[in-house]
Amino acid sequence: MKKITLPLTREAIENLTAGEGVLLSGVLLTGRDCAHKRICEYLDRGENLPFSLAGETIYYAGPCPAPEGKACGSCGPTTSARMDSFAPRLLDLGLKGMIGKGERSEEVCDAIVRNRAVYFAAIGGAGALYGNAVKKSELVAFPDLLSEAVYRFEVKDFPCVVAIDCKGGNIYKK
Amino acid sequence: MRRIHSSEIENAVYALTKEACLGLIPSCKAALERAADEEKGESAKFALDTLLQNAEIAKQENMAVCQDTGYAVVLAEIGQDVQIEGELFADAVNAGVRRAYEDFCFRKSICDPLTRVNTADNTPAAIHTELTAGDKIRLTFLPKGFGSENMSRIYMLTPAKGTEGVIDAIVETVRLAGSKPCPPVYVGVGIGGTFDGCALLAKKALTREVGSHNPRKDVAEIEERALKKINELGIGPQGFGGQTTAIGVSCEIAPTHIAGLPVAVNIQCHCVRCAKTTI
């Protein structure tokens, strides 16, 4: 499988095609339902976010607490569709990658192409495998959201499938 | 009259929570292995192989097999000849859930529906009790993930819809869910009863072994025909396309009103986790 480094480069994104398997290594942010809502509340108020989204990849996930000696507990992807109403706004602010599971709305597909971004599908349910691929975890924002807070993960060989590429190729629309 | 102390119930729920969240039930694992052998598409195969590898890692590393360690659903059959001493039954169940989710690093996923503030200990559990004959307590623990719960539906069909209507409702629910609930799914179906009772039947159906059949022949036929139709949808593992969109359909049935034909379809992801014990 193709090895890809995070944060994503423009060149790497242009060379990804829907359907191909990839191993992601590097740095990403986690964020799911409540974190997305809060990010958009910051934007609505015209305030700066406590972290930058430019060039970042967001993993739609809420991990289990880390057992002793591990960076992270079980941590598979959650259903991406619940983030569809927020994602175009984040992509327009420079977000380059999303990792989750399942299909996306037309609006998200359009925003991916418009912003030359990419959506990866992780394998839903493989929580232990993904948790083990997290080598470092650091809390970035919103600690009151517990598992829904934003964490920065350093991951190694995170197996995914390119689900929607920057040219509009879409594994769910075969 | 047999006396059972609430601490025994708490300890039993604690042990069931641990057992259920750490691994797939064997009939689910076997179904995934079969599917991995049969699927031809590269992405579908990759998804299933990853899931089987994940189950091994969870076992070796003592980690939750899926991070969504779910809403703690507890089905309790309480013998009429049992007297529970100590705490209230529900308090004992919740104490077992609270302690297990903390001790085994399971995710706490329960929150206020409006403020979204997390209860921080995965309680309250969803407890369904039923009085039965005898002097034992039978407990079933089902950690229910919500990616799949979100895709579940209830239909209040007219009696004229009949068996075909029931099958159509099951297949439509899976079709509308698409790639979202982590296919291949396990489909629990309630047929009959009331609006609420039908949903509970569907939940109970999910505690059956994958591949098992309802003892009533006409109901078992619905299970088989619905499964065949679902696997013709082509959604496949993780929605990547393929012939395994569901690993099983499990139906439970109860009498209903002359005016109605309720059908509840409760979707379970491929991560079928369940543990049972008798006190």
Cis amide bond preceding B159, omega within 30:
no
Q: What percent of chain B has pLDDT over 70?
A: 100
Q: Which amino acid is it at A92?
A: D
Is there a single domain that holds both residue B158 and residue B182?
yes
**Number of domains into which chain B is organized:** 2
Is there a contact between B53 and A126 if contact means CB atoms under 8 Å apart? yes
Is there a single domain that holds both residue B157 and residue B169?
yes
Averaged pLDDT score across all residues of chain A: 96
Put simply, whether B63 touches A (Cβ < 8 Å) is yes
CATH number of the domain to which A30 belongs: 3.20.130.10
Last residue of one domain, picked from the residues B99, B114, B144: B144
User: Is A170 within the bounds of a domain?
Assistant: no
Is there a single domain that holds both residue B86 and residue B219?
no
Residues B261-276 have pLDDT tens digits of 999 999 999 999 999 9
Is there a contact between B63 and A67 if contact means CB atoms under 8 Å apart? yes
User: Is B256 within the bounds of a domain?
Assistant: yes
Size of interface A-B (CB pairs under 8 A): 145
According to the model, what pLDDT value does residue A110 have?
A: 97
User: Is B71 within the bounds of a domain?
Assistant: yes
ipTM of this predicted structure: 0.93
Averaged pLDDT score across all residues of chain B: 97
- For A134, the domain range is 2-164
User: Is A174 within the bounds of a domain?
Assistant: no
User: Is B56 within the bounds of a domain?
Assistant: no
Is there a single domain that holds both residue B107 and residue B127?
yes
User: Is A18 within the bounds of a domain?
Assistant: yes
Select from B43, B64, B270 the Cβ nearest to the Cβ of A171.
B43
Q: How far is A108 from chain B (nearest CA, A)?
A: 15
Residue (of B105, B179, B164) closest to A65 by Cα position: B105
User: Is A128 within the bounds of a domain?
Assistant: yes
Put simply, whether B119 touches A (Cβ < 8 Å) is no
Put simply, whether B185 touches A (Cβ < 8 Å) is no
Select from A19, A124, A145 the Cβ nearest to the Cβ of B269.
A124
Is there a single domain that holds both residue B7 and residue B140?
yes
Put simply, whether B51 touches A (Cβ < 8 Å) is yes
User: Is A81 within the bounds of a domain?
Assistant: yes
Q: How far does Cα B170 stand from its chain's mean position? A: 16
Q: How far is B182 from chain A (nearest CA, A)?
A: 6
Select from B50, B67, B147 the Cβ nearest to the Cβ of A159.
B50
Last residue of one domain, picked from the residues B112, B144, B176: B144
Is there a contact between B107 and A19 if contact means CB atoms under 8 Å apart? no
Burial of B203 (0-12, 13-18, 19+ CB in 10 A): buried
Last residue of one domain, picked from the residues B101, B118, B144: B144
Contacts of A145 in chain B (CB under 8 A): 118
User: Is B243 within the bounds of a domain?
Assistant: yes
Residues A71-122 have pLDDT tens digits of 999 999 999 999 999 999 999 999 999 999 999 999 999 999 999 999 999 9
Residue (of B181, B191, B209) closest to B68 by Cα position: B181
CATH number of the domain to which B269 belongs: 3.30.1330
Is there a single domain that holds both residue B200 and residue B115?
no
Residue with tokens 């879409």: A170
In the predicted model, residues of chain B with pLDDT beneath 50 are: none
Query: In this model, does residue A141 exceed pLDDT 80?
Result: yes
**Number of domains into which chain A is organized:** 1
Q: How far is A50 from chain B (nearest CA, A)?
A: 21
CATH number of the domain to which B131 belongs: 3.30.360
Is there a single domain that holds both residue B200 and residue B121?
no
Is there a single domain that holds both residue B109 and residue B220?
no
CA distance B279 to B277: 7
Burial of B80 (0-12, 13-18, 19+ CB in 10 A): exposed
Q: How far is B146 from chain A (nearest CA, A)?
A: 9
- For B84, the domain range is 2-20+65-144
pLDDT band with cut points at 50, 70 and 90 for residue A174? low
User: Is B57 within the bounds of a domain?
Assistant: no
Is there a contact between A19 and B43 if contact means CB atoms under 8 Å apart? yes
Angle formed at CA B25 by CA B24 and CA B27, multiple of 5 degrees: 120
Q: Beta partners for A69?
A: none
Is there a single domain that holds both residue B173 and residue B245?
yes
Specify whether the CB–CB gap between B187 and B249 falls below 8 A. Answer: yes
User: Is B92 within the bounds of a domain?
Assistant: yes
Among chain B residues, the shortest Cα distance to A127 is held by B66
Question: What is the helix (H) or strand (E) element at residue A75, kind and residue range?
Answer: none
Q: How far is A72 from chain B (nearest CA, A)?
A: 10
A21 is written with which tokens?
A: 């398997």
Residues B22-61 have pLDDT tens digits of 999 999 999 999 999 999 999 999 999 999 999 999 999 9
According to the model, what pLDDT value does residue B193 have?
A: 98
Question: Which of B22, B42, B50, B273 is the best mutation test for A, with the most CBs of A within 10 A?
Answer: B50
